[in-house]
Structure 1
């Protein structure tokens, strides 16, 4: 072999070795950079505040402009899905219900004092001006409402419900009336734990407000000063859906266009669409049909027989995949999706899981 050929071979091998070293160095640098970026992202995620801890100004971003959707009809229950160009569901409208579930920015909710569970959801629950029916997307009212709802960044049903939880800051309206903030369940029972009731029930939304309320039938209710900033389970639902979101409210358990006074009244004669119903704990029910904002009803007090005696608002799956709800309870002294007085899950055989009887979509 000539010296020129030997020199060429050595140069070629030297070039290959140099390239190999360069590739190895680049791989090491890239791996190190990837690890650093991943660690930074993980740290940022840990430090990301829960939605119920964020300033209201950054709580939401408008999810769309309300145009260019395809509407599909599905069953069980009968409803209409609005889909975008990629086929993703942007909104769900259920026949006979005024609640619409829109897709928006993901929010995370926590309640550290009562549970390690967190709830993250991209569902934003809004009220339509009238109950949904098939083909309502072609009606003039809907186009105006839908465009506005998609751009709405104000607190929705879920955010409003959690404005009354543990440690929630008090907020007053322009008249100086407290309309949000950490709520109690009811006054201490003067008879101690008689009947296992440590706190008194029969506390409605107007007690929380401290304001006399006139109902559609012109009847009035006057607040009890000892129950200010408090409401029981049905009073909580009436505060969120009625006073805050504008759903009509009735004074008693009568059938009509508004929310009745008690959990049993809401479940039996109240408005909305029934999503599931069962008569005993062993009966299997499809809880996966529920959407955030649905009302859930329970039979958990043996003293009331078959009467439904507790209600709350479904939030969605928690970080472990279990369906979780929020309600006002005496054990937590107010609204909670935590685990005092029973885990706030509607699956399994736990206290509330076994006690679930009805779910409705308003």
Structure 2
């Protein structure tokens, strides 16, 4: 009997040792997996942090277009904050950094993304370094727009995207920009001129003719939504005046609606004066007939309007696209100009800044957010 009990105990001990061994092995495997998981998680987080775009900060009723704060978008729930002057929704990451700004009544959205530096050494020593990416919303923003069915997909696709934006389009027409053609062989981008030489002009004034629109640059007929068909002029091929440049960038490239002439409607009119007075969008700097007192309400992508030709009376005669602050901290814009014979953010013919007492700064009259 005793011998039988001892045999049973020995058998039980061997079984327990096997079970214990299996448990230990299982524990080691689990710990190993957890360690590997933790390592991969840290590596992934570091990789994401290394490629995450810098973000900007806003305070009070500012537009959030100042210098980057150096923070990084944090994972987690995003906050939608309402600000005024103008009424807008600011999207913040969990750490408070600004991810995007949407203005009530405007389709123009500014998203924080990878930093870029734009240069044009032939015409200016200034550089524009910005992490603002300007894109068009599918429809005009309104309070609570983040709850709309289209917004989630649009925002997740657009935030952090490096697909060409308004600035990228604009830079494709400055001097020296390479030509690109579509599938039909139409050159849709590349170095653009302002317009053909004026037979009655001079270097001191009206050297080149105005009235070159995007279809002149493209060299193709264009049918507008109202049925109007405009034919390009051969002499204006590869040329666009100031409003033609804006219509090329915002209209033909970014697909903002275009109007055939200066009328009030859902689209960009033909001239700078028409855009300022008739186009949809949000007035950012009110048109009073005088120079605005300040430009701090501007955000990248805003259209800026000027009165620089006294012969036009009260008509606004020049338009450009605000780029933000240059590396000297000065507000700078890009436009197509006669003096540079095409699109530029340089200083030939007048410093392309909106502050100080320069030619364009003194002529600034209003701004609008499309």
TM range (shorter): 0.7 to 0.9
Alignment partner, residue 289 of structure 1: 297
* CA distance, structure 2, for counterparts of residue 183 and residue 244 of structure 1: 15
**Deviation of the 1:64 alpha carbon:** 7.8
Residue of 255, 258, 265 corresponding to 2:264: 255
Q: Secondary structure at the match of 2:129?
A: strand
* CA distance, structure 2, for counterparts of residue 180 and residue 65 of structure 1: 37
Question: How many residues matched?
Answer: 299
**Deviation of the 1:349 alpha carbon:** 1.4
- With the length of structure 1 as denominator, give the TM-score of the two structures: 0.80
Alignment partner, residue 236 of structure 1: 245
**Deviation of the 1:334 alpha carbon:** 0.1
The answer as to 2:323 corresponding to 1:315 is yes
Alignment partner, residue 342 of structure 2: 334
**Deviation of the 1:144 alpha carbon:** 1.5
* CA distance, structure 1, for counterparts of residue 108 and residue 179 of structure 2: 27
Residue pair 2:289, 2:314 contacting (<8 A) in 1 also: no
| Structure 1 residues 65 and 158: CA distance shift in structure 2, 3 A | farther
The superposition leaves residues 224-251 of structure 1 with CA deviations (integer Å, 9 ceiling, x where unpaired) of 0111111000000000000000101000
Alignment partner, residue 108 of structure 1: 117
Alignment partner, residue 223 of structure 2: 214
Residue pair 2:76, 2:94 contacting (<8 A) in 1 also: no
Between 87-96 and 150-159, the greater mean CA deviation after superposition: 150-159
Residue of 192, 196, 200 corresponding to 2:209: 200
The answer as to 2:288 corresponding to 1:268 is no
Gaps of 5+ in 2: 1-71
**Deviation of the 1:195 alpha carbon:** 8.6
**Deviation of the 1:67 alpha carbon:** 7.4
**Deviation of the 1:278 alpha carbon:** 4.7
| Structure 1 residues 263 and 336: CA distance shift in structure 2, 3 A | same
Residue of 106, 111, 114 corresponding to 1:97: 106
Q: Secondary structure at the match of 1:164?
A: coil
Between 270-279 and 189-198, the greater mean CA deviation after superposition: 189-198
* CA distance, structure 2, for counterparts of residue 276 and residue 145 of structure 1: 29
**Deviation of the 1:279 alpha carbon:** 3.3
Alignment partner, residue 129 of structure 2: 120
* CA distance, structure 2, for counterparts of residue 234 and residue 353 of structure 1: 18
The superposition leaves residues 302-324 of structure 1 with CA deviations (integer Å, 9 ceiling, x where unpaired) of 00011000000000101111000
Divergent runs of 4+, >4 A: 63-67
Alignment partner, residue 57 of structure 2: none
The superposition leaves residues 181-202 of structure 1 with CA deviations (integer Å, 9 ceiling, x where unpaired) of 1100000001132992000001
The superposition leaves residues 110-130 of structure 1 with CA deviations (integer Å, 9 ceiling, x where unpaired) of 001001000000000010010
Residue pair 2:222, 2:230 contacting (<8 A) in 1 also: yes
**Deviation of the 1:284 alpha carbon:** 4.6
The answer as to 2:365 corresponding to 1:349 is no
* CA distance, structure 1, for counterparts of residue 358 and residue 219 of structure 2: 36
Larger-gyration structure (1/2) = 2
The superposition leaves residues 284-331 of structure 1 with CA deviations (integer Å, 9 ceiling, x where unpaired) of 523111111100000000000110000000001011110000000010
- With the length of structure 2 as denominator, give the TM-score of the two structures: 0.78
* CA distance, structure 2, for counterparts of residue 151 and residue 200 of structure 1: 40
Alignment partner, residue 191 of structure 1: 200
Q: Secondary structure at the match of 1:319?
A: coil
Q: Secondary structure at the match of 1:288?
A: coil
Alignment partner, residue 144 of structure 1: 153
